[in-house]
Structure 1
Amino acid sequence: MGKYLSERSLENLKKYAYRGADKSLVSRYILNPWWNWLVTLWPLTVAPNAITLTGLSIVFFNFLTLVYYDPLYLTEKDVGDSRPHGPPQWVYFTWAIGLFVYQSLDAIDGKQARRTGMAGPLGEMFDHGCDALNTTLEVILASRALGLGRSWWTVASEIFTLANFYLTTWEEYHTGVLFLGYFSGPVEGILIIVTIYIVTGFCGTLFWETKFWTLLKLDHVYPFTRLPNLPLNESFMVFAALGLGINILHAYLNVYTSRTSEKVIRAHTKDTNPLTLLLPFLAPTVIQIAWLSHPAMNHSAIIHSALFVPFLCAWGLQFAHQVGRMILAHVTLGSEPFPRWDWVWAWSVVGAVDANLPRIFGRAPIIQTNTLNTTVFVWLTLAVSFFNYGRFVYLVIYDITEHMGIACLTVRKKDDHGHWVRPEKSS
């Protein structure tokens, strides 16, 4: 038995086999030839997880450029400060390059795994873990590029993005197949965000305040005069909401088909109503919204303060832990339980209840009595979320590598005598 995984879970890892289906025409005819060429540039001595981690590191560097060039976004802004806020426009081009490189490296890590004979459940978990972390970082960056800033639109963007990721993982848990449709977040969604960065680099964030019908010169043409003339950034959010709705329907139909077919139904999901497993996403989302929507008292609400970014990061780390456990339940064939609850949510529950005491009981908060106390509590939540997720990652990687005799970031396996060797190239 491992430090985190049971003996049964460790044994089931050896039975697991990845299955995927990508219907994207962009992937098939444009990106896949590029990915097939790109992977040949990597030596067989480079581990696939090292490629994945390299991609995430580039995205994290993009985030650091936001912190460096736009420090006021992560601090309290002076209302009387007339200086222009935001990073210089050329920075957005680096974000576009960084995200495209991330997508490319994320796509070829599996190809590299097959080239080096390192394909397995650890790679899938590592890949999904990096994707989960990238999700929140890109929400922060893309919202800044769209000029949404600290607003409920950015919160909506976080919810839409995490919901799409959760649905895909939930679908894979029930069907055993990672489905990517004709339009998916990892392919077309990322390319759209890359385009947003490029446009912002040329035109600046104010461009996204342009009204949609006005840009198309249809604002005086019937029937468009009867429709809301939303800014481009808000129109993009409406588009994202429609995409989420389509993804919900698509995922549910795939799960329904799986459960009604005896050939593909998975034993560990047979007696479970799949819709109930959507509640573990809805519950923490409601908690976070409740915390953010607390009535402002003698200090700024979190959503309009310097605490907004660390709040989103804590939320993203809690989500990454949640979907990490979902993938673990998937690759262990149900030996590990589906994450219906996470103890770290208790921190957010305390924060939400405490902040809403004036609304619930008509009394002042106990913990978040002023800006300083709120700041300490939010940053403490971020630290606890980071520790919780980091501990999970370390223990799971340790258990899998020890049990399967493989390395995480190098191309090595243990032979029957316990010696580290290079695995044979996979066909």
Structure 2
Amino acid sequence: MNLLNYQYLRPAHLKGLDAYKYNAVDTSPLSLYVMHPFWNWCVEFFPRWFAPNLMTFLGFLLLVFNFVMFSYYDFHFTESLILPKWIWLVAAICQFCSHQLDGIDGKQARRTKTSSALGELFDHGVDSWATFLFPVCIFSVISRDEYGFSPLAMHFLLLSTYLPFIDTHWEKYNTKVLFLPWLYDISMLINQNITQKIIRHEMVSGQNRVL
């Protein structure tokens, strides 16, 4: 079988793609009253010829750059003090710009009437990579020496990012609606609080081992 000449999508699939329409419900107060108005303002600075998928890809590249930068200067993620001070500013700028590009790519697509199922797949596919690329850089901030936390705690941090993303898209697959409830922001704070407690416990345990 020729993999490059195989018809993976049947006519019924292609018909479904033509009829597909993105359906999302976002009731988060932070999104409704802060982020979306800000993104509506930001997107006006981009010309209409600027492709939405290019925004998505550029935002992804910024996260990749952050990951490569931290990996180069702290390959084993063992000590934040060895990193040059300018890295934190660069990382913050890259993360901020990446987040804004991820927020305005869909608005640019609707603005230019180029929304498509492929664009959504590309956007959310890149987001799935972002759930790893961004949190793993936190390992450099806290480190994993005797005063940091263990790789097990890092796995908990990654899982607290993976699971909400996976559950949300699993729900969308079944209901055809990407639903982001008003509790979304609170749940993120709860996840952060749990993660902080795990990290604090690991740091105290590390100090006790040293003593």
- TM, length-normalised to structure 2: 0.78
Which residue is equivalent to 2:160?
160
Please show how residues 394-413 of structure 1 align to structure 2 within 5 Å. Answer: none
Please show how residues 6-17 of structure 1 align to structure 2 within 5 Å. Answer: 6-17=10-21
Which residue is equivalent to 2:172?
172
Which residue is equivalent to 2:29?
25
Q: Does 1:42 align with 2:46?
A: yes
Letter in 1 for 2:153: W
Q: Does 1:126 align with 2:114?
A: no
Q: Does 1:97 align with 2:93?
A: yes
Q: RMSD value over aligned CA atoms? A: 3.1
- The Cα shift of 1:138 comes to 1.3
Per-residue CA deviation, residues 92-118 of structure 1 (Å, 9 max, x unaligned), is 232222222111111111111011111
Per-residue CA deviation, residues 125-149 of structure 1 (Å, 9 max, x unaligned), is 0110110111111121123323356
Which residue is equivalent to 1:147?
143
Distance 1:182 1:142, change over 3 A: farther
- The Cα shift of 1:183 comes to 4.3
Which residue is equivalent to 1:235?
197
The separation in 2 between residues aligned to 1:182 and 1:90, in whole angstroms, is: 36
Which residue is equivalent to 2:73?
69
Distance 1:189 1:93, change over 3 A: farther
Report the number of matched residues: 191
- The Cα shift of 1:184 comes to 3.2
The separation in 2 between residues aligned to 1:181 and 1:144, in whole angstroms, is: 32
- The Cα shift of 1:89 comes to 3.9
The separation in 2 between residues aligned to 1:109 and 1:153, in whole angstroms, is: 33
Which residue is equivalent to 1:106?
102
Give the unaligned 5+ runs of structure 2.
201-211
Which residue is equivalent to 1:181?
181
Per-residue CA deviation, residues 219-252 of structure 1 (Å, 9 max, x unaligned), is xxxxxxxxxxxxx9641669xxxxxxxxxxxxxx
- TM, length-normalised to structure 1: 0.41
Please show how residues 344-355 of structure 1 align to structure 2 within 5 Å. Answer: none
Which residue is equivalent to 1:346?
none
Letter in 1 for 2:178: L
Give the unaligned 5+ runs of structure 1.
78-82, 194-211, 213-231, 239-427
